Amino acid sequence: MGTNFHLPSTLEQFQQQFPTEEACIDFFFSTKWPSGFSCPNCGHSHAYITSTRRLPLYECLQCHHQTSLTAGTIMAGSRTSLHKWLTAIFLISRTEQGTNAVALSKIISVTYKTAWLILHKIRHAMSTADQGTLLSGIVQVNSAVYGKPYNPYFRSHPQEHYLLAGSSLNIQGEPSYIKLKLVPKIHVKEKLFQRSATLDFTQQHIESHTNNIEFITGRFSSKRFRTLLAYAAQAGKSINNTFHGIGQKYLQHYLDEFCYKVNLTLHKATIFQHLTHLCTVPHAKLTSFNPENTPMCA
């Protein structure tokens, strides 16, 4: 996009900046190959371009490997235009509201099923990046609940979902990376988190050599981490406002979306650019959340 690129802040600004499919192709190209074309097979920097297709096809001059902007990415095989994909990425990257499939289907003129699938694939990319990023250093973890507490004492309600909210702390003692992870109900008895819940969280989400880990799972403990509880409450409010409640099956993806935005904000990284990069990275290279390595298209 060159030096004229400015991050859009409203849908109107986005549509003015990316009015055509060609503009979106240019943006995806500069995101995928910020230093110019690089063959995914041999790394050569020059290619023949076949532009008679719906999307350009790049054939390496050295090894003749053919690739496209969407090869190996979450957009591979999609018949939906890059303009509609990029619009979805922009809408889901907004921190103040995000988007749901009903709204997206109207904005980009696709069926609800197509809009849902696009958003599902984008959220899956967020979740995959989070899975490769473990908490480390000083780690704090607190128990929490998503959903209205129908009974504040011992009996659980089907719409209550148990969470462990964890964070790595920076040298100032502030969260530098957060996770909100669902806890299977087999690890919770009479609303008390069993030791198996903390062991499972430690194994899956904390680096193995981490020594400084503090779990607070007692419901009425005076030591509960207020910041983590605030993030959990904020996630619940955000999900309910945009999606009007989510069932167990896909709830983790929506929690990961919330954490993804929070973590980029903590790192002062631009969500739209980072998410575009995440969606153009081949699956095999999508291993972790890494805002420092986001290419800047400016």
166-212 confidence digits (pLDDT tens): 999 999 999 999 999 999 888 888 778 889 999 999 999 999 999 89
Whole-number pLDDT of residue 297:
47
Phi/psi region, residue 292 (left: phi>0; alpha: psi -120 to 50; beta: rest), is alpha
Average pLDDT in the 30-37 region?
93
Q: What is residue 39's three-state secondary structure?
A: coil
Q: How many CB atoms lie within 10 A of CB 113?
A: 10
The C-alpha atoms of residue 90 and residue 276 are separated, in whole angstroms, by 8
Whole-number pLDDT of residue 109:
97
One-letter amino acid identity for 151? N
Q: What is residue 43's three-state secondary structure?
A: coil
Q: How many CA atoms lie within 13 A of 73 on its CB side?
A: 22
User: In the chain, where are the structural domains located?
Assistant: 2-32+70-131+270-293, 138-252
Q: How many CB atoms lie within 10 A of CB 229?
A: 15
The distance between the two most distant Cα atoms of the chain, rounded to a whole number of Å, is 68
Whole-number pLDDT of residue 159:
67
Residue among 291, 298, 295, 285 at smallest CA distance from 74? 285
Q: How confident is the model at residue 6 (pLDDT cuts 50, 70, 90)?
A: confident
pLDDT beyond 80 at 228: yes
Whole-number pLDDT of residue 149:
60
The C-alpha atoms of residue 167 and residue 161 are separated, in whole angstroms, by 19
Residue among 25, 105, 30, 37 at smallest CA distance from 67? 37
The C-alpha atoms of residue 77 and residue 277 are separated, in whole angstroms, by 18
Q: What does the mean pLDDT of the chain come to?
A: 88
Q: What is residue 166's three-state secondary structure?
A: strand
Q: How confident is the model at residue 2 (pLDDT cuts 50, 70, 90)?
A: very low
